[in-house]
Amino acid sequence: MKRALVSLLSALGASALLACASTPAVSRSAEPARARATTGLGAKAGAEPATSHCSTLAQKGAGDLVGAVDLRGQSRLAASDLCPLLATRAGGSLDDETLASDVRTLYGTGQLDDIVVSTDELATGRRVLFTVRERPLVRKLVVLGVKAIDDDDARAMLVPERAPFDGVALREGIRKLRDEYLSSGYRSADVQFRVDAAPEHEVDVTVDVREGAQARIDAIHLDGASKASEKDLLALVDTDEGHYNRVGAPYRPETFERALLYMSAYYWDRGRVQAKVSPAEIVPSKDGSTLAITVRIEEGPVFRLGKIRCKGDFGGTPKECLDLVGLKTGDVFSRAEMVKAIDRIRAFQIEKGRGTTITPGTELDPKKRVLNLDLQIER
């Protein structure tokens, strides 16, 4: 059953934000004298909001200039750390783009959850007030239900304690944890999280895991493989010393998918340049405890080399090109051999002071089962 999650929005006090955002800026004259005199650190959470002065004009300058830039709402963070980040300064002009950039800069520190900018009139010009809300600190990270994965490893994927809470990082961590379970064969693992508000502008994060059963592979079918042996193809699958991706072991998708690329390369190195290895089809048993894996393969015919040409900025003769390639017309095409040939030609070109960007072009003649190879060389 899907468990209820506490809304991140309410956990982070979004209602307070909305109230803040819709409240008209407090005029300077209405502020308590104590708040006006405050510099450096602002008030602690729950206390009367204090304002820090980032920059102030002593007397009105010419034109419509900024008279003062103030900061309010920070408690853990020092105004002396945040104020220098602001491009809006007393004595400068008030500019939309600069203000937007200031908000992005402050948000980009990763320490603040919200920033509201308001302005009002002072005798010395416009006052710009940045009201910030710090991200809450993570007081406690509780991880429940983790057995198959090392507890410290699981915690390392999530959000650290005593650091500003990062909702995006938590979601990414939850995704990583799910992927970790998936790659360990726990295909039905369910990972949920909850964020609860705590006193002193802190939050408790609870991650609840229901691992479910570990599914094991009961069969791997390579449909359509007749020219290559099943043993040779399966040898390309990384089993992590027999722990995964073999019959009787859990399925690890990322390494199995990589093996499908190796299988394609296996065929291309044996002239079967039209070979197609389809993505694995995974069929779980009814109770989810076992998996059958099917890979469909179209091997295609063997292609032999036809014409071999070095084109463009090649620094030698056609014979030298063929010698460097080391293959001749009639040989079975091999992608790996072609790559080696390109490396040899590049070394030759470097020696000759010629172009080293080499792009292979292949032209297939399906009727004759011939592949013409052009090595285009650019300076």
Partner 1 sequence: MRRPSLVLSLVLVATVPAPTALARPVTARSGVVERVVAVVDRDIILLSELERRAEPFRLRIEATIPESDGAKRVAAEQQMHVELLDRMIDERLEAAAAKRQSVTVSEAEIDAALKTIADGQKLSVPDLLEVARRNAGLGDKEYREEIGRQLLEGKLLQRIVHDRPEGFSSLTERERNERLEKERQTWIGELRRDAFVEKRL
Residue 115 touches partner 1, criterion: CB under 8 A: yes
Q: How far is the CB of 176 from partner 1 (least distance, A)?
A: 13
Chain residues 239-268 in contact with partner 1, contact rule CB under 8 A: none
Query: CA 295 to CA 84: how far, in whole Å?
Result: 59
Contact indicator for 270, 302 with CB cutoff of 8 Å: yes
Neighbours of 148 (CB within 10 A): 17
Residue 163 near partner 1 by CB under 8 A: no
Instruction: Return d(Cα 139, Cα 78) in angstroms, integer.
Output: 20
Pair of tokens at residue 318: 């056609």
> Taking contact as CB under 8 A, which single stretch among the options 6-14, 147-155, 274-282, 344-352 is the one that binds partner 1?
6-14
Binding pattern for the stretch 37-76 against partner 1, x by CB under 8 A and - elsewhere: ----------------------------------------
Ordered DSSP codes for 59-121: S--SSSBEEEEEEES-SSS-HHHHGGG----TTSB--HHHHHHHHHHHHHTSSEEEEEEEEEE
Is residue 9 at the binding interface for partner 1, with CB under 8 A as the rule? Answer: yes
- Sole binder of partner 1 in the list 5, 19, 21, 78 (CB under 8 A): 21
Instruction: Identify which of residues 150 and 254 has a Cβ nearer to partner 1 in the complex.
Output: 254
Among 32, 48, 87, 121, binds partner 1 (CB under 8 A): 121
DSSP assignment, residue 274?
A: T
Residue closer to partner 1, measured from CB, 94 or 236: 94
3-state SS of the chain: helix, strand, coil percent to 5? 30, 30, 40
Q: Applying CB under 8 A, which of residues 95, 153, 240, 281 lies at the interface with partner 1?
A: 95
Q: Is 123 in the site for partner 1 (CB under 8 A)?
A: no
User: Any contact of residue 8 with partner 1 (CB under 8 A)?
Assistant: yes
Considering beta carbons, is residue 8 or 370 the nearer one to partner 1?
8
Stretch that binds partner 1, among 109-117, 257-265, 304-312, 361-369 (CB under 8 A): 109-117
CA atoms in the 13 A half-sphere facing the CB of 277: 22
Applying CB under 8 A, what is the total number of residues that bind partner 1?
Answer: 30
Looking at residue 164, what DSSP letter applies?
A: B
As measured in angstroms, the least distance from the Cβ of 94 to partner 1 is 4
- How long is the chain? 379
Of 22, 29, 59, 226, the residue at the interface with partner 1 (CB under 8 A) is 22
Q: Which is nearer to partner 1, 203 or 377 (CB)?
A: 203
Burial class of 154 by CB neighbour count within 10 A (0 to 12, 13 to 18, 19+): buried
- CA distance between the termini of the chain: 63
Instruction: Write out the residues near partner 1 by the rule CB under 8 A.
Output: 8-9, 14, 17-18, 21-22, 24-25, 94-96, 99-100, 103-104, 107, 114-121, 126, 167-168, 171, 175
